Amino acid sequence: MLWVRSRPRLVPRVLGEVTVGAGLTPHQRVLIEKWKRGTAAALGVPVEAIREDVAEKWLINWMRALVKPEYWRAVGLE
């Protein structure tokens, strides 16, 4: 993980390009809202302070990290 942090320009290549907001399912929207609420509570800020684009990228990148590439189409990552 230190390698990725020390070379931020390589992150898009490692994690893949992210299309923000395109075709998110209602279940994915629910996950984003839960993440935003939890992150806001942990930081002590209102939910409105959490950036929507970052929350969507978080969801897409974690889905890519957790789901095998052969199943990406099934979960809407391709």
* Both structure tokens of 15: 């994690």
| pLDDT tens digits, 7-31 | 454 444 445 544 555 578 888 899 9
4 occurs within a structural domain = no
15 occurs within a structural domain = no
Q: What separation, in Å, do the N-terminal and C-terminal C-alpha atoms of the chain show?
A: 25
7 occurs within a structural domain = no
23-35: string of b/e by CB count within 10 Å (b at 16+)?
Answer: ebeeebeebbeeb
2 occurs within a structural domain = no
Nearest to 18 by CA among 51, 66, 53: 53
* Both structure tokens of 22: 């395109």
Query: How many domains does one find in the chain?
Result: 1
| pLDDT tens digits, 27-73 | 889 999 999 999 999 999 999 999 999 999 999 899 899 999 998 88
19 occurs within a structural domain = no
| Domain with 61 in it | 24-78
59 occurs within a structural domain = yes
71 occurs within a structural domain = yes
76 occurs within a structural domain = yes
Give the predicted TM-score (pTM) of the model: 0.62
